[in-house]
Amino acid sequence: GAFDFRPGPVFTQVLLADEINRATPRTQSALLEAMQEAQVSIDGETRPLPQPFFVIATLNPVEMEGTYPLPEAQLDRFLLRLDLGYPSPEEEAAMLERFVQGADIEATAVAGPEDIARAQRAVDAVVVDGRVRDYILAIVAATRDDERLRLGASPRAALALQRASQAQAAIQGRAYVMPDDVKALAAPALAHRLSVDAGARLRGVTARAVIAEILASVAVPIEA
């Protein structure tokens, strides 16, 4: 005579949403709270998700039948978007060799939750100089003033670009962000958040092309 709560697959630490554009809009919207707040509200009760928690999603942009476009609000929650494309000839040859006898692949853990949390704290400690911060804001502001874009970068996009640049600097062993970090991650952090105007899209304009032009026009801060 009572309901028992059974945690679903979202109660994990690394959630892989394969071909997320095949999920229904209701499922997509249900991910918003999990992605932003790391919690799930069910029947009026809020349940925290295990930490650290993050979502990785794949999307096949070619197939249209049976797919649902992701709303801007959900795209804005993804820190980065990467276009994988085809593997290189060397990578594809290694893949064929690996599966020549139907070999099973065993995944081995290379880091635990404590290691990830320690890395996150290291990223938090990376310094962002005021001039670099102004550079990020100038890039974001330029997307909002570009007539070819129906939707410019949001404040969350500026935060994402700064955060990703901090991570890039930490990975390279630096305690400070350089403008090159910002330039390297501007397209992965911003392109999926921008909406190109229909007329510009018909002319072949892409969000990544607009970002490339903005990076070429915005002045880069130089150390005095």
For 126-156, how does the pLDDT look when each residue is reduced to its tens digit (9 = 90+)? 999 999 999 999 999 999 998 999 989 999 9
Task: State the average pLDDT over residues 199-208.
Answer: 89
Residue type at 7 in one-letter notation: P
pLDDT in tens, 60-80: 777 666 677 788 888 888 999
Helix (H, G, I), strand (E, B) or coil at 5: coil
HSE value, Cβ hemisphere, 13 Å, CA-based, for 129 = 16
Cα–Cα distance measured from residue 29 to residue 75, given in angstroms and rounded to the nearest whole number:
11
Which position has the higher pLDDT, 164 or 24?
164
Average model confidence (pLDDT) across the chain? 89
Angle between helix axes 155-171 and 179-190 (nearest 10 degrees) is 130
Whether the CA torsion 164, 56, 85, 139 is positive or negative: it is negative
pLDDT in tens, 3-21: 888 888 899 999 998 888 8
Q: CB under 8 Å to 221, separation ≥6 — which residues?
A: 129, 131, 132, 134, 135, 179
What are the structure tokens assigned to 21, written together? 């554009």
What's the pLDDT at 98?
A: 82
Name the pLDDT band for 224 (thresholds 50, 70, 90): low
